[in-house]
Amino acid sequence: MRRSTLIGGSLVVVFFLAAWLIKGAGASGESPYYSAFLITLAAFLTLAVFSFLYADNPVYKFAEHLFVGVSAAYWMVLGFWQTLVPNLIPRISRALSEQLELEYIDELWNVLYVIPVVLGILLLLRLSRKLGWLSRYAVAFIVGTTAGLNFIAYTRSNFMAQISSTFLPLVGDWTSWAAFVDNLSLSATGPLALLMANIVVVLGVVCGLIYFFFSREHSGTFGMASRLGIWILMITFGASFGYTVMGRISLLVGRMTFLLRDWLGIIAS
């Protein structure tokens, strides 16, 4: 490790130790130093990640590596307690269910629940050089069932449901001109506004699909439709981008609020 890294690291540690002690001294409650330590730790990790804006540095790398370990274990523990225990134990063992105080599900087909355990063990055999090929049976089950499921699910949700939702009325009931133009706003509750919205949706879908159709040259009427398609796509990309920017900004505001209010106490709660 370089000398400058050691000096920098020591300064960071001293700074946050001082911050902890100052915050602990000023805090009230049952265990002020303990809660001050936790808040200072969270603040340190927050600033450690922000330090990446300057450059990739040891403090950032520390936070990054710690996060990898903690989050991997978090999902593992969650998977064990929330998936494995409630879905498997009440099916395979009455004694274990009683010990875990879970309701035993007494069904004829419970013996089949040994299959996921066997497949899971086969999956773990991937770690063995000799028997690693056995894990392919578990992978075959996972991939086969998921692919079969996706085949139907995506045909229904991404294809058929989208097409049927695009069959919108492009003409409306005519009673009078006044009723037709009534409540004409972008909120789209009046008949004309609704019709206009429907026309934009139908045209947008058709022209958007034409833009993605590359088996024919985009010229003439086809080219015009394709151009309209790309306009609608650009509006969508702009809207989505703006939405994402604001989402990230609100996260940034959240972290700043934590630093300035919860840690430093500069802004009022």
Site for other proteins in 123-142 (CB under 8 A): 123-124, 126-127, 133, 136-142
**Shortest distance, CB of residue 189 to other proteins, whole angstroms?**
11
DSSP 127: G
| 203 is a site residue for other proteins (CB under 8 A) | yes
The Cβ of residue 16 has, within 10 Å, a number of other Cβ atoms equal to: 17
Site for other proteins in 240-269 (CB under 8 A): 240-246, 248-252, 254-255, 258
Q: How far is CA 139 from CA 13, 120, 123, 142, 264, in A?
A: 46, 10, 7, 5, 51
| 14 is a site residue for other proteins (CB under 8 A) | no
**Shortest distance, CB of residue 176 to other proteins, whole angstroms?**
25
| 33 is a site residue for other proteins (CB under 8 A) | no
- Contact region with other proteins (CB under 8 A), list: 11-19, 22-30, 153-161, 174-182: 153-161
What residues have CB less than 8 Å from 192, skipping those under 6 apart?
Answer: 180, 181, 184
Site for other proteins in 70-109 (CB under 8 A): 70-85, 87-88, 99-102, 109
| 66 is a site residue for other proteins (CB under 8 A) | yes
Of 128, 145, 175, 189, the residue at the interface with other proteins (CB under 8 A) is 145
DSSP 67: H
Q: Which residue has the tokens 């875990």?
A: 100
Total interface residues for other proteins by CB under 8 A: 126
Task: Return the structure tokens found at 152.
Answer: 């139907």
| 32 is a site residue for other proteins (CB under 8 A) | no
| Calpha distance 155→153 (Å, rounded) | 6
Cβ-based burial of 174 (10 A; exposed 0-12, middle 13-18, buried ≥19): exposed
**Shortest distance, CB of residue 20 to other proteins, whole angstroms?**
13
Helix, strand, or coil (residue 158): helix
| 211 is a site residue for other proteins (CB under 8 A) | yes
Choice between 26 and 144, CB closer to other proteins? 144
